[in-house]
Amino acid sequence: MKTLQVELVGDGQNADRSYPIYIGQDLLTKSELIEPYVKGTQVLIVSNDVVAPLYLDKVKKTFAAYDVKIVILPDGEQHKNLDTVNTIFDALLDAKFDRTCTLVALGGGVVGDMTGFAAASYQRGVNFIQIPTTLLAQVDSSVGGKTGVNHPKGKNMIGAFHQPRCVIADSDTLNTLEDNQLSAGIAEVIKYGLIRDMTFTKWLEDNMQKILARDPEALAYAIEVSCKCKAEIVAEDEKEKGVRALLNLGHTFGHAIETSSGYGNWLHGEAVATGMLMAADLSMRIGNISQKDVERVDNLLDMAMLPTRAPHHMDYDHYIEIMAIDKKTRAGKINLILFKKLGDAFLTNNFSLDLLRETIDAHRAIDGK
């Protein structure tokens, strides 16, 4: 087992909000990992109807020493909304849970984001533990404290920062994941390399087949490097005033694709993959990287079985309309993460909209994904 530490300074309420990420195999049953992080006796485990039949029994045993209640949410991004979060509040109030309770998220990013948001707002904030079970959640959404839900007009528009007390990433859980979900997680792994680590990008190019075959060592290494990158960036810039924005590489395009296609039709990681290629393409058009660099990104995403063409129905105006309410848009100016060079991303609004139009036109699929 590897332990990484997310180093966060105190915020006035809590002296030290630093927390560990445990990465390894066979971790779900290790009660000694969670014991230091449960404050009171009341524990609510939140999962969904796909993950619970697979792993809930194990996790329930791990929390056997506590007064445990369970909430099972419906599966899917289309349920990531306030109505679903309300069912968590209902369960907490029905059980008369107080401010010392602990919420445990067992599932992918959807369960994690909603459970975290419930933990951030129930009685103005209670204890929270993440047990992520998708690759995407293990390398990205469970680390860093962003929580929230979607609104019909925009993805993740309602939310709060609320850090977990610990994260338990058990790579064994990835063995039951669908292939396309594994690939969607790899998109975020690729993102870390492209924004600041070409040695890791090269490693991914050389080891993609092992990752796709779920080789435990390759997976553990990819999770560790990714979490380390995310932990460092979050420690530097918890509330996204600067460097943390780089983690949104491909996400402004990607969110537009997700919003426009209806939540659930494109996986988040798939949309981000296409978005990263669009960011590379625009970086090439503004003269920062070469056509060869763009092809390198395209090939890596291809190796990971990820889509790189956006839905055909999305034209320039469509993107502009959705991007206008992106959280990075300032005073009407669209901000994007682009490349200075591969392995070195930056936030900018200094690009011509004509070039953005060219990128969008070049990435509309002929027919479908």
Ligand X SMILES: NC(=O)c1ccc[n+]([C@@H]2O[C@H](COP(=O)([O-])OP(=O)(O)OC[C@H]3O[C@@H](n4cnc5c(N)ncnc54)[C@H](O)[C@@H]3O)[C@@H](O)[C@H]2O)c1
Residues with catalytic annotation?
124, 146, 188, 230, 240, 244, 248, 251, 255, 268
Q: What is the C-alpha end-to-end distance of the chain, expressed in Å?
A: 38
Q: How far is the CB of 225 from ligand X (least distance, A)?
A: 17
Question: Judged by CB, which is closer to ligand X: 46, or 336?
Answer: 46
Q: How far is the CB of 285 from ligand X (least distance, A)?
A: 27
* Beta-sheet strands, E only, within 7-100: 19-24, 42-48, 67-73
Question: Judged by CB, which is closer to ligand X: 226, or 288?
Answer: 226
Q: In this structure, are strands 127-132 and 102-107 parallel, antiparallel, or unpaired? A: parallel
Q: How far is the CB of 159 from ligand X (least distance, A)?
A: 8
Question: Judged by CB, which is closer to ligand X: 223, or 289?
Answer: 223
Residue written as token pair 């056509």? 291
Question: Judged by CB, which is closer to ligand X: 42, or 181?
Answer: 181
Q: How far is the CB of 10 from ligand X (least distance, A)?
A: 22
Q: How far is the CB of 138 from ligand X (least distance, A)?
A: 9
**How many C-alpha atoms does 76 have within 13 Å on its Cβ side?**
8
What tokens were used for 241?
């005033």
Question: Judged by CB, which is closer to ligand X: 166, or 177?
Answer: 177
Residues in a beta bridge with 347:
337
Which residue, 180, 216, 204, is CA-closest to 108? 180
Task: Please state, in angstroms and as integers, the Cα–Cα distance from residue 127 to each residue in 65, 102, 116, 209, following that order.
Answer: 17, 5, 9, 39
Query: Would you call 149 helix, strand, or coil by DSSP?
Result: strand
What tokens were used for 13?
């309420």
Q: Which residues bind ligand X (CB under 6 A)?
A: 48, 50-51, 54, 75, 77, 80, 107-111, 113, 133-134, 136-137, 140-141, 144, 146, 156, 173, 176-177, 181, 184, 268
Give the C-alpha separation, 288 to 282, whole Å: 9
Give the C-alpha separation, 249 to 368, whole Å: 23
